[in-house]
Amino acid sequence: MDKTHDPALTSWVASANDPATDFPIQNLPYGRFRLQGDGAWRVGVAIGDQVLDLSAARFDALGGQPCASMESLMAATPAQRRALRAELSEALRDGSKRAGELRGALHAQAAVELGLPCRIGDYTDFYTGIHHATTVGKLFRPDNPLLPNYKWVPIGYHGRVSSIGISGQQFHRPRGQLKAPDQETPSLQPSKRLDYELELGIFVCASNALGEPVAMEQAEDHIFGLTLLNDWSARDVQAWEYQPLGPFLSKSFATTLSPWVVTLDALAPYRKPFRRPEGDPQPLPYLDSPFNRECGAIDMVLEVWLQTPAMRQAGQGPQKLMSSNFTDAYWTVAQLVAHHTVNGCNLQPGDLLGSGTISGPQAGQGGSLLELSSGGKTPLVLANGERRTFLEDGDTVSLRAYCQGEGLRRIGLGECVGTVLPART
C-alpha cells in the first residue's frame, strides 16, 4: 500500500472520477491499442474512458524514453514498474503540472482499436476453482467428485494460443466428434452443449532459466497482472475426447481475453489471507510461504452477463447470471507459478496462465452453464422468459470483475465479451 492507493485521489481526466468506472486513478492498468489507419500497436494506460499513449509521453522510470512495446515494459524490474505507477499517478492526478502536456497523449477508448495485451507465447489453463471442480465432478462421479490429487496439485493443461482473441471476439459454433450414450459410433456435428467458463488470466512478465524453479517468495515478481478470460467449452465434444489426456478440440476453438491488465500493485488493497478449509491438507512446502498465507488471496468479485438475440431485438441489455469471488480459488497466483516451474519448466514473458473456472459455494454461483443448468437437466429461466441449458447462436456473454471495499476506491478489469455465431456449413 502506498499513496497511489489513496481513495481520495482524483484525476484531471474527468471520467476517471466517475464512481462507476473500472479505471479510476487508483487502477492504471496496461494494454495495447492502435489508432485508426495505423498498424502499429502502442502501449497505453486506461484512465476513465481514455487511454494514455505511453509512446507519446516520457517518464523517468522508463529512462525518459517512450515505451516502445509491452514486452519492454514487462522486462522492467518490479521496482521500475512501481516507480512508473507512482509517476503515472502523480502525472494524472488533479493539480498535476503535466496535465497540459499529457492531454495530447490521450485518446478515447471508444475511438481506438484495443488488442491483446501482448504477444502471447504459451498458455496453460489451471483448475483452481474447487467449487466448480466439485460440482462438475458430481455430474460425472457422484460418489467421488474430487479425485485424490486435487487438494495437493494445481491441476492444469496446455492450451492453444492461436485462437485467443480480444474482447468482442466472435466465433463460429465448433464442430467435433459427438457420441450419445445410446449411439454405437460417434459422428461429426456442431456442438449442442456450448458453454462459457468464468476465469482470470495471469500474465507472466519475467523468465526463469530452464531447470531453475521459481520459489514462492519470488513468484509474484514473475507476474505482470490479471485480466479476464473466457475459456469457451464444447461440453459434448469434451465428454467424448477428454479421457485419457484431457481437453483438445473442445477448448481450442476460441478463448477470449479482456484488453486491460490490472497489476498486482493496483490490487494491493484487496489482498486477503489465504487459508485452507479446516481438515484440508496444507500445501507442500514448495507451495507455501508466510507472505502467501498472510495475503495470497485477492478479494475480487467476478460476474457473468448474458444477452440473447431476443434481448437485443427488444432493446434490452444483458442479464446477470451469477457472481462469485476470487477468494474462492483453491490455489493462489503465486502457487500456480511455483508449481508450473518446480519441474524446471521455463516460463517466459508474455506467457498466459488461466485460473480455471471460479465458481462460488452457493447454488446459483456456478461459473458455467454446465453448473447452473445441472448438466443441462434444469434450464435456466431468463427474465424475458427464455430458457438456456447451454449457449445458442447469437448469444453474447460478458464477463466482468471488480474489487471494492469500505474506505477503498472501486477498481475493475474492464469487460470480456464474446458472441457465438452459427456453425459453418
CA atoms within 13 A on the CB side of 63: 8
Same domain, 340 and 381: yes
Same domain, 128 and 111: no
- SS3 at position 42: strand
Same domain, 77 and 134: no
* Domain at 285, CATH number: 3.90.850.10
Q: Extract the annotated binding site for substrate.
A: 127, 141, 238, 242, 357
Q: Determine the pLDDT at residue 138.
A: 87
- SS3 at position 46: strand
Same domain, 368 and 276: yes
Same domain, 32 and 135: no
Same domain, 184 and 77: no
Query: Domain boundary residue among 82, 115, 148?
Result: 115
Same domain, 89 and 133: no
Name the catalytic one among 5, 107, 131, 132: 132
The answer to whether 132 is a known catalytic residue is: yes
DSSP conformation letters of 294-321? HH-EE--EEEEEEE-HHHHHTT---EEE
Q: Extract the annotated binding site.
A: 125, 127, 141, 197, 199, 231, 238, 242, 251, 255, 357
The count of other CB atoms within 10 Å of the CB of residue 249 is 17
For the whole model, what pTM was predicted?
A: 0.96
Q: Using CB atoms within 10 A of its CB, is residue 262 exposed (0-12), middle (13-18) or buried (19+)?
A: buried
Same domain, 90 and 161: no
E-only strand ranges, 271-393:
271-272, 297-298, 301-307, 319-325, 352-354, 380-381, 387-388
Selection from 391, 418, 412, 350 nearest residue 117 by Cα: 350
Q: Please give the DSSP secondary-structure letter assigned to residue 213.
A: P
Q: Determine the pLDDT at residue 244.
A: 87
How many whole angstroms separate alpha carbon 261 and alpha carbon 203? 8
Query: Domain boundary residue among 64, 80, 115?
Result: 115
Same domain, 278 and 385: yes
* Domain at 32, CATH number: 2.30.30.230
Q: Which domain holds residue 298?
A: 123-421
Same domain, 307 and 394: yes
Q: And the C-alpha cell for 105?
A: 497523449
Same domain, 235 and 88: no
How many whole angstroms separate alpha carbon 421 and alpha carbon 396? 10
Selection from 61, 141, 55, 68 nearest residue 106 by Cα: 55
Q: Please give the DSSP secondary-structure letter assigned to residue 217.
A: H
The count of other CB atoms within 10 Å of the CB of residue 180 is 12
In a structure prediction context, what are the per-residue pLDDT tens digits for the chain, which is 425 residues long?
A: 899 999 999 999 999 999 999 999 999 999 999 998 888 999 999 999 999 999 999 999 999 999 989 999 999 999 999 999 999 999 999 999 999 999 999 999 999 999 999 999 999 999 999 999 999 888 878 888 888 999 999 999 999 999 999 999 999 999 999 998 889 999 999 999 999 999 999 999 999 999 999 999 999 999 999 999 999 999 999 999 988 888 999 999 999 999 999 999 999 999 999 999 999 999 999 999 999 999 999 999 999 999 999 999 999 999 999 999 999 999 999 999 999 999 999 999 999 999 999 999 998 999 999 999 999 999 999 999 999 999 999 999 999 999 999 999 999 999 999 999 999 98
Query: Domain boundary residue among 81, 115, 149?
Result: 115
Same domain, 157 and 67: no
Total domain count, the chain = 2
